[in-house]
Amino acid sequence: MNNILPIFSFLKSKSEAGQKTVLVTLVAVTGASTRNPGAHMAVAEDGSFAGSFSGGCVEAAVVAEALEVATSGQPREVRFGAGSPYLDIRLPCGGNIDLLFTPVVSGTIICDIYDRIRKRQPLTIILDSENPEICCVAQTSNKVSVERKASQHFVHHIPAARIIILGQGPSVASLAGLCASYGIDCDILSPDPVVIDQVEGLANSVNLLKTPDATPLLDPDPWTACIFYFHDHDWEARLMKQALFSPAFYVGAMGSLKTHGIRQQYLAQIGVSEAEQKRMSAPIGLIPSTRDPATLALSTLAEVVESYHRHFGCNA
């Protein structure tokens, strides 16, 4: 899900511990690959690493190459798969991947990148196959991609998907648990104290809603999905209006087609236009007519992930 925070968290902690580290970046793919350009691995001089580029067929060779780069202090570009100097390594997909190994010579830039990721800022990491210096600037586009200009690689990243779950009932806890397992951040707003107790520890933040009015606690950015799991629909109208007027890339609500028809009427009454209502996915999820909480949560998460990839081209 395009979450590069663990990679830079690893680099930050290992650098702070005094270890040499290497950032490995997938800069080009020929044929098929399990990762797209822009994916990263991080390797420390003790042989530990974070991230992957395959199902396990190249990681050992990547670590070995990275340890040489850590020692030499100079970047290098290596091809794995068809046409690679590693004759005994073949990618199952039959293609090849080009990896750029960059020794980390400054912990300051790693901290800068880490802080930008934590603040959910789009960024571009500038790497050079002839120079170990790493640079980072704000990104103006909204895609994950890699551009090459001579020896420089411009690796564009956007924030990972985030989910805000608003609602009642067991589906809230089911979705929060799936998010935690999948590694996607979520925040929870619910008027039900029982739900609040159930999800404690499963989300970044858990807040009890005391009124059904719009709230500053609902603060989606363009990479956030808003999920409505309300059974008491008096709670959802103003919060749903707030979500639909926000930059959230996805807004979805559970309920039948009949329920959604009624919902459209009361949303229109509070000033939500037909065009704005069309932003909403309802009934929510990829699996139609789901009834049990676990399946509804799975159906919801699958649709959110698909929508994120479709909007932003994130397959890394």
Domains in the chain, please, with CATH? 5-157 (no CATH), 162-312 (3.40.50.720)
Sign of CA dihedral 102, 106, 111, 112: negative
Banded model confidence at residue 302, pLDDT cuts 50, 70, 90: very high
Sign of CA dihedral 209, 215, 221, 227: positive
Q: Is the pLDDT of residue 274 over 50?
A: yes
Classify the phi-psi angles of 307: left when phi > 0, otherwise alpha if psi is within -120 to 50, otherwise beta: alpha
Compute the average pLDDT of residues 252-276: 94
Residue corresponding to tokens 């991947």: 97
Determine how β-strand 145-149 pairs with β-strand 131-138.
Answer: unpaired
**Six-digit token string for 160:** 């990972």
- What pLDDT sits at residue 87? 47
**Six-digit token string for 234:** 């008096």
Cα 269 from Cα 276, distance rounded (Å):
13
Chain-centre distance for alpha carbon 283: 24
> Strand pairing partners for 97?
29, 80
Q: Is the pLDDT of residue 21 over 60?
A: yes
**Six-digit token string for 250:** 């996805």
Residue 191 near residue 251, CB atoms below 8 Å: no
> Strand pairing partners for 100?
25, 77
**Mean pLDDT, rounded, of the chain:** 91
> Strand pairing partners for 190?
208
Cα 299 from Cα 54, distance rounded (Å):
27
- What pLDDT sits at residue 314? 60
Residue corresponding to tokens 């739900």: 195
Compute the average pLDDT of residues 131-154: 89
Q: Is the pLDDT of residue 316 over 50?
A: no
Q: Is residue 13 packed enough to be buried (19+ CB in 10 Å), middle (13-18) or exposed (0-12)?
A: middle
- What pLDDT sits at residue 63? 94
Over the range 95-128, which residues count as b (16 or more CB within 10 Å of their CB) and which as e? bbbbbbbbbbeeeebbebbbebbeebbbbbbebb
Q: Which of 158, 175, 178 is nearest to 166 (CA)?
A: 175
Q: Which of 254, 243, 238 is nearest to 164 (CA)?
A: 243
Compute the average pLDDT of residues 230-254: 95
Banded model confidence at residue 34, pLDDT cuts 50, 70, 90: low
Determine how β-strand 96-103 pairs with β-strand 131-138.
Answer: unpaired
Q: Is residue 66 packed enough to be buried (19+ CB in 10 Å), middle (13-18) or exposed (0-12)?
A: buried
Residue corresponding to tokens 């994916």: 39
pTM (predicted TM-score): 0.88
Q: Is residue 4 packed enough to be buried (19+ CB in 10 Å), middle (13-18) or exposed (0-12)?
A: buried
Q: Is the pLDDT of residue 86 over 60?
A: no
Residue corresponding to tokens 């968290």: 9
**Six-digit token string for 278:** 């069309």
Q: Is the pLDDT of residue 250 over 50?
A: yes
